[in-house]
A and B are shown apart, each in its own frame.
Chain A
Amino acid sequence: MLFNSFSFALFLPIVFILYWFIINKTHKVQNVLLLAASYFFYGCWDWRFLFLLIFSTFLDFFTGLKIYHSTSPLNRKIWLIISVTVNLGFLVFFKYFNFFASSFAELLQSCGFKPDFATLTIILPVGISFYTFHGLSYVFDIYNKKIEPTTRWIDYSLFVSFFPLLIAGPIERATHLLPQVEVARKFNYNKAVDGLRQILWGLFNKIVIADNCAEYANNIFNNSANYSGSTLLVGAILFAFQIYGDFSGYSNIALGVARLFGFELLRNFAFPYFSRSISEFWRRWHISLSSWFKDYLYIPLGGSKGTTLNKIRNTFAIFLVSGFWHGANWTFIFWGGLNALFIMPSVFKKSSKTNLEIVAKGKLLPSAKDAMNILLTFLLTVFAWIFFRAESVTYAFHYIAHIFSVTIFQKPEQLPIWLVIFIGIFMLIEWLGREQQYAIAATGLKWKRPFRWLFYFCIAFSIFYYAGSEQQFIYFQF
């Protein structure tokens, strides 16, 4: 059941009406309904993996309690190791088994051996990377005595399995979401309207921007040998907008849906393509994952403290692991490593904590220096996205080599003007709304109702006009 599907358009209002009209009594009843809806939502993908989700939830709930109630540090550590090993064991098995098996076989082959490895046909349980990280953060926070475990199974299960965030995040923290789960939600008109507005903007990002860019980007990436360097550059730029529209669209829908039920989820995107440096970009792109790795990997490794060598090691560690988290392919690891490389100048200059505010705050236009930095950062991210999109590292290098051939000066064979105009309008709205939580959070709020509604109608109409067959969200595969 995709967020952009007809079935979800039926599912959401039914759950909403049941939630606020029929059983809106105590938080316990509200949670039971949301948990049942979440399991139904997940079961629609593949009901067999529902058992894995429930087992994983039970494991973390149980080990969380054990860690909390253990008096000896050794016992606490043992329960933590059990939780981490089992959680990561499932993740490694379902997501990385074939990658490790085939890489090991290749290694042996290069040493002259003739291994006879069989790879297994393993279906990746949807959302496993996300709910595993939810559970791990809960156990880590209990171990680090940041939170006390909940004793209510239903509350904890809802924290892990709440349907808007179950498939592709945002990766929530128990410190943020669990307190919201443990109290009754009351209907708030402004919050609900804001939720709908964010869903609308999320659908626009996905259906109008991402899916249209995907059509051209896929064609160019799949047939790169047939196109000029300029077309390949266009393809890479279109992919940059595709992945942004796709994932920020998903996140906006998830946050909007959660808000309809009275929850505030972690923000996942903060206008990353207006970043002035790669370090700023990573504070604005997939924020919930970046902060997860920062809190549970980067800081425990020493963070930005210690020698320059330590900082370099720690930076590469989180980017390589982050790349690997995305998928079992060397392209993702290369993409992570490339981003670590891009961030090195700010590590050496100790400038990674600059540009904390959004660019040109309170102004209409950025300074020339900021504009140049935004452009440079965008081009570097586009360059890195080529590895993310490519089927193999070799293919990515061929693609890049083809871009930098003499054909880069030819007129691109694939450059749909109407799509360029749409992307232009999209980025303009994003720019004007960059100081808000999402681009249209405050657009038209002071306008008279007919004009405001006309604005929303234009967005809704473009979604209707461009909606075709349901397109999978890219991050569902992770």
Chain B
Amino acid sequence: MRRAQIRPAIPERSEDPRVEVALTVNGQPVRRTVSVRMLLSDFLRHELGLTGTHVGCEHGVCGCCTVHIGGKAGRSCLTLAVQANGFEVRTIEDVAGEDGILHPIQQAFKECHALQCGFCTPGMVMNILSRFQEPEPLDLSEDGIRDMLSGNLCRCTGYINIIAAVRRAAELLGRE
């Protein structure tokens, strides 16, 4: 049996069929040519350098990669970049003001100490923001908030402070 040979360098560009994708990200039109199988999460992080969108499980369970697609929260790991063609995508980078002033939801997370390592936070904020933007009345009971957060896993906080932050955010945004 021969020993394994060192293989030549892997090509820098994959040989996958490529497709042109044009969408709006955080208000800016972007156009890239990417592999058909590129996930929206990888598109945001690797093509656009927007690394605020985190990647955890890549099968839709952890919620870290949640962004807004067409104005509603969705999993960027369960969406192909090419599926977002023509859509408006909004990521965590667009939530705070340009001057660095935090969005009330972010402010509430800070005040309530609703994050420790912060890995899940971008997905949490994008999910909560999407719910606050829906015209539907919000259920701000303990159960209602837990249901709201059920698609986002946090392994640090035990959720208590995140629930408090959602209530605080509702106060700050006048949604009681």
Partners in one complex: no
Residue numbers of B with Cβ under 8 A of A are none
